[in-house]
Amino acid sequence: MEKLQLTFFFLFLLIFPQIVFAQKQTVDLIVQNGTVVTMDGQRRVFENGSIAVSKGEIVGVGTFAEINRRYAAKQLINARGKAVIPGLVNTHTHIPMTLFRGIADDLDLQEWLTKYIFPAEAKNVDEAFVRAGTRLGLAELIKGGTTTYCDMYYFEDAIADETAKAGVRGVLGETIIDFPAPDNKTHEQALAYTERFVNKWKNHALIVPAYAPHAPYTVSQQHLGNIKSSADKLNAPVVIHVAETETEVNDIIKQKGARPIEYLDKIGFLSDRTIAAHVVFADENEIGILKKRGVGVAHNPQSNMKLASGVAPIPQMLAGNVSVGLGTDGAASNNDLNLWEEMDTAAKLHKLFSKDPKVVTAEQAFMMATIGGARALKLEKIIGSIETGKRADIAIVDLDGLHQTPTYNIYSHLVYATKASDVRHVVINGKIVMRDRVLLTLNENAIKKDANLYRERIIKSLSTN
Amino acid sequence: MEKLQLTFFFLFLLIFPQIVFAQKQTVDLIVQNGTVVTMDGQRRVFENGSIAVSKGEIVGVGTFAEINRRYAAKQLINARGKAVIPGLVNTHTHIPMTLFRGIADDLDLQEWLTKYIFPAEAKNVDEAFVRAGTRLGLAELIKGGTTTYCDMYYFEDAIADETAKAGVRGVLGETIIDFPAPDNKTHEQALAYTERFVNKWKNHALIVPAYAPHAPYTVSQQHLGNIKSSADKLNAPVVIHVAETETEVNDIIKQKGARPIEYLDKIGFLSDRTIAAHVVFADENEIGILKKRGVGVAHNPQSNMKLASGVAPIPQMLAGNVSVGLGTDGAASNNDLNLWEEMDTAAKLHKLFSKDPKVVTAEQAFMMATIGGARALKLEKIIGSIETGKRADIAIVDLDGLHQTPTYNIYSHLVYATKASDVRHVVINGKIVMRDRVLLTLNENAIKKDANLYRERIIKSLSTN
């Protein structure tokens, strides 16, 4: 009897060796059978593709059959008929300003700032406000398939805390500005706060703490120098507004004898850890500087339009191999955190402005919202594309809405027809944070309730001067 | 006993006369307790407003309490916490081109037309195609709260038939062009078709049949004259593309010695039944002509951007009291029929292009998408605002999405934060055509299935030359 069993075993082994030797590896999550838009170097798209995720990392990308043969999963996301894309990267926000969404529009920048935004901030912004606004913004980001954002605001330590709790990835910059801010009253206080903040968060899985000097016209040369030294010491990114308006350019030329980017380069401020927001005004020489120094650029087309700032030379930057990502800017000047609309607008705006409908293709716009944004934030080694070894930041997006029917080209459909509301599931660092449009790490109703309480307070604060 | 009862009755009558004499009028539909954005002459907004609808007509607009006191309803729509707005008006489409959505993008206009659109049309467009594409487009329009659209395509009689069946309002123009079209091969055939078409539909409750000469550069002066005479005779609107590109302007100047609008005026073509699409290029004199002749303008900001056509002088037209509406153009050059994005883009684009963030306010953008569009289509007496005596074309829109939270100003929120996916219920001519995002007059699944079959056919037709 025993002999017979042994014979059968060897016979079985001979016929089905893979079952005996090559057991499937069990992973935490498989995203299964979607149109996987990898955004890898070869821009591979798997029509019936799957992704295997283990310990937050992408361990396998391939056809449905291939992944199915190699892996078994504890958790499955069925992506049939859907696009599976790298989570979107929003390279410029002021996230708590969601609470000021639509508080004042259609105004001159100066009137908008001095009559509404600055007073509203002075009267309302404290740590609790920042936490409530951050949660509102995080919820909106996740709902739209954004998995990483780059922020600049006050009480950034509280923002980091809320972001980590929600399971969202962030490059989070504490604002340093040469006037008393809601959190820190002097440059020295702000710098000390930021150093503590960076040291506290620098080894976190999701949070990259950063310095955020507001702009070259609101932070003195000496203070910019202090910030640069401190950031170098801690090897942290530096987020800064640069060349957003013509007024800024003219003022810096007058004061410093150079255009904003030239000036920042001249004082040794720029490095491959600099993330420059807006850069609406950059000439050929300055684009060369951005490339040479490895500066990342956050392009905010809708905000630049709404505030009538101008059109950034994005086609020239892309041609010059500058790392460009897309951003929404704060909700007070947009008025949402919707990267899908930024992609669509970027592709259309640069066609118009270049008088060339071939400029900024759908694929380029999608690149800026994914791997381009990751490069701008210096995170391209861990996110921005669906590749083995990267962190699993993934959005699964419906492709069968009426407004998306029929589909001919995946990039065109993602950029020109797909909306934030088409995002169905979101995975960040291997963890599902939205399933079937239900947020799993945030309480949507509580967030709305808090936001509406702040609304009352903000309105009251502006009516009593 | 009887005496006592009678005494009580008279006593009751004395105290509550309105209950005995003023019985509530029963109406077909009440839209109840929303933020009613009327877009009437005084731009009234009722915070807790209701609308009473009888026989497809708005018979009462007012506060919840007021309408409740005067009317009882057979059918109710609860609009609590939602905006109740005039149904949106899309002033320029080629509706069956939804089937070509994303077929070719990021190309020069000539390459796009000659390599993709014209061959795809020549090989695929027949009456069945037009019906399938129209149903797809109508479904997308309703889902986004658009209740009226102005079209220009072939087999427009079939489009009218599908539109009427879906219960959507349309100004539908049969294309007349100086080369053989999918339906009519000669000018004479096209003119005869259009006359039959106009006579057939001219008394329909929802359909306004129209003539649609393609453009001044594709229809000869003599043929434009024939069309004008015929349209005058039948008192029908005339829809035409005008001054869309710089090339067109230069060609017309070369051929006719005048700019496009000047030329059309010189030959007596323009009237207060003309609806001009695009008008990207119009100088001060031409804006004066548009006003003097009562021409309506369909502004298509996203299409003009995507095809790199230019920026229409909309602030100047608004200042000159020209009737301007918003349009999406066909889905092949947009790539959707989403008026919410056109509003947002219009407001932002003109700020940028005028270098003035006060230009085209949210309220003006919303005006163009509602009463402005109605004026451009010469339908302002029956639609475009929520007023007693107008037809009940109404959209009920969620206001509590995360991306809309909090709300400060209703116009800002509708234009800068609200999306097509926030539209919840749609009423056209008093009839509910979408309830809780479910289409009631169209079969969404059948529409998608048809569209995907056409997709296969179209791809095959383009690969076999």
- The pLDDT value recorded for residue A4 is 67
Q: With an 8 Å Cβ cutoff, is A94 touching chain B? A: no
Chain B partners within 8 Å of A357 (Cβ):
106-109, 112, 306-308
Chain A partners within 8 Å of B419 (Cβ):
419-421
> Please, is A155 exposed, middle or buried when counting C-beta atoms within 10 Å of its C-beta (0-12, 13-18, 19+)?
buried
Mean pLDDT of B43-66: 98
Type of residue numbered A165: K
**Residue A306 near residue B348 (C-beta atoms within 8 A):** yes
User: Phi and psi of A449, rounded to 5°?
Assistant: -65, -50
**Residue B269 near residue B256 (C-beta atoms within 8 A):** no
Share of chain B above pLDDT 90, in %: 91
Residue A222 to residues A310, A324, B111, B176: CA-CA distances in angstroms? 29, 28, 55, 69
If one compares A20 and B322, the residue with the highest pLDDT of the two is B322
Note the residue count of chain B: 465
Integer-rounded Cα radius of gyration of chain B = 24
- The answer on pLDDT for B425 being more than 60 is yes
Chain B partners within 8 Å of A109 (Cβ):
357
A103 Cβ contact partners less than 8 Å away, ≥ 6 residues apart = A116, A117, A120, A332, A458, A462, B408
Chain A partners within 8 Å of B146 (Cβ):
none
CA-based nearest distance B355→chain A, Å: 5
Q: Which ipTM did the prediction report?
A: 0.94
- The pLDDT value recorded for residue A14 is 64
Q: For residue range A190-222, what is the model confidence (pLDDT) as tens digits?
A: 999 999 999 999 999 999 999 999 999 999 999
Interface test with A, best of B358, B405, B443, B452 (most A CBs within 10 A): B405
Token pair of B257 as six digits: 């010695």
B362 to chain A: nearest residue by CA? A106
- The pLDDT value recorded for residue A219 is 98
Q: In this complex, do B308 and A454 lie within 8 Å of one another by their Cβ atoms?
A: no
B109 to chain A: nearest residue by CA? A357
**Residue B101 near residue A405 (C-beta atoms within 8 A):** yes
What count of CB pairs under 8 Å joins A to B?
A: 199
Residue B53 to residues B25, B388, B390, B431: CA-CA distances in angstroms? 11, 9, 10, 9
* pLDDT bracket for residue A9 (50, 70, 90): low
Q: For residue range A162-179, what is the model confidence (pLDDT) as tens digits?
A: 999 999 999 999 999 999
- The answer on pLDDT for A397 being more than 90 is yes
What average pLDDT is seen over chain A?
A: 95
Return d(Cα B446, Cα B425) in angstroms, integer: 21
Which residue in A108, A136, A349 is closest to B405 by CB distance? A136
DSSP B334-369: TS---HHHHHHHHHHHHHHHHT-TTSS-HHHHHHHH
Q: With an 8 Å Cβ cutoff, is B112 touching chain A? A: yes
- The pLDDT value recorded for residue B459 is 93
Chain A partners within 8 Å of B336 (Cβ):
403, 416-417
Q: For residue range B34-51, what is the model confidence (pLDDT) as tens digits?
A: 999 999 999 999 999 999
- The pLDDT value recorded for residue B7 is 72
Return d(Cα A87, Cα B457) in angstroms, integer: 33
B306 to chain A: nearest residue by CA? A348
- The pLDDT value recorded for residue A12 is 63
Which residue in A98, A107, A362 is closest to B106 by CB distance? A362
Name the CA dihedral angle for B44, B47, B48, B52, rounded to a multiple of 10 degrees: 30
Q: For residue range B68-100, what is the model confidence (pLDDT) as tens digits?
A: 999 999 999 999 999 999 999 999 999 999 999
Q: In this complex, do B308 and A355 lie within 8 Å of one another by their Cβ atoms?
A: yes
CA-based nearest distance A189→chain B, Å: 32
How far, rounded to the nearest angstrom, does the alpha carbon of residue B288 sit from its chain's CA centroid? Answer: 25
- The pLDDT value recorded for residue B34 is 98
Return d(Cα A291, Cα B220) in angstroms, integer: 53
Q: In this complex, do B102 and A409 lie within 8 Å of one another by their Cβ atoms?
A: yes
Chain A partners within 8 Å of B344 (Cβ):
302, 341
* pLDDT bracket for residue A462 (50, 70, 90): confident
Return d(Cα A279, Cα A241) in angstroms, integer: 8
* pLDDT bracket for residue A464 (50, 70, 90): low
Chain B partners within 8 Å of A454 (Cβ):
406
Interface of A with B in 325-354 (CB under 8 A): 334-338, 341, 344-345, 347-349, 351-352, 354
Q: In this complex, do B459 and A408 lie within 8 Å of one another by their Cβ atoms?
A: yes
**Residue A389 near residue B435 (C-beta atoms within 8 A):** no
Domains and CATH numbers, chain B: 20-85+392-439 (2.30.40.10), 88-376 (3.20.20.140)
Mean pLDDT of B376-385: 98
- The answer on pLDDT for A26 being more than 90 is yes
Return d(Cα A200, Cα A184) in angstroms, integer: 18
Q: In this complex, do A106 and B416 lie within 8 Å of one another by their Cβ atoms?
A: no
Which residue in A351, A412, A455 is closest to B406 by CB distance? A455
* pLDDT bracket for residue A108 (50, 70, 90): confident
- The answer on pLDDT for B111 being more than 70 is yes
- The answer on pLDDT for A465 being more than 60 is no
Q: Are strands B394-398 and B57-63 parallel, antiparallel or unpaired?
A: unpaired
Q: With an 8 Å Cβ cutoff, is A302 touching chain B? A: yes
- The answer on pLDDT for A64 being more than 80 is yes
- The answer on pLDDT for B412 being more than 60 is yes
- The answer on pLDDT for A19 being more than 80 is no
CA-based nearest distance A91→chain B, Å: 18
**Residue B383 near residue B89 (C-beta atoms within 8 A):** yes
Q: Count the helices and strands in chain A (H runs, E runs).
A: 19, 17
What average pLDDT is seen over chain B?
A: 95
Q: In this complex, do A403 and B412 lie within 8 Å of one another by their Cβ atoms?
A: no
- The pLDDT value recorded for residue A13 is 59
* pLDDT bracket for residue A463 (50, 70, 90): confident
Which residue in A101, A102, A361 is closest to B106 by CB distance? A361
Mean pLDDT of B388-400: 98
- Assessment of whether the complete model's pTM goes beyond 0.90: yes
For CA atoms B223, B229, B231, B233, give the dihedral sign.
negative
Interface of A with B in 125-164 (CB under 8 A): 136, 139-140, 143-144
Interface test with B, best of A403, A426, A437, A449 (most B CBs within 10 A): A403
* pLDDT bracket for residue B28 (50, 70, 90): very high
Q: For residue range B149-189, what is the model confidence (pLDDT) as tens digits?
A: 999 999 999 999 999 999 999 999 999 999 999 999 999 99
Which residue in A305, A348, A402 is closest to B302 by CB distance? A348
Q: With an 8 Å Cβ cutoff, is A311 touching chain B? A: yes
Residue B242 to residues A91, A353, A427, B299, B416: CA-CA distances in angstroms? 40, 21, 48, 11, 29
- The answer on pLDDT for B273 being more than 80 is yes
Which residue in B108, B357, B362 is closest to A358 by CB distance? B108
Q: In this complex, do B358 and A106 lie within 8 Å of one another by their Cβ atoms?
A: yes
* pLDDT bracket for residue B254 (50, 70, 90): very high
Q: With an 8 Å Cβ cutoff, is B398 touching chain A? A: no
Q: In this complex, do B306 and A357 lie within 8 Å of one another by their Cβ atoms?
A: yes
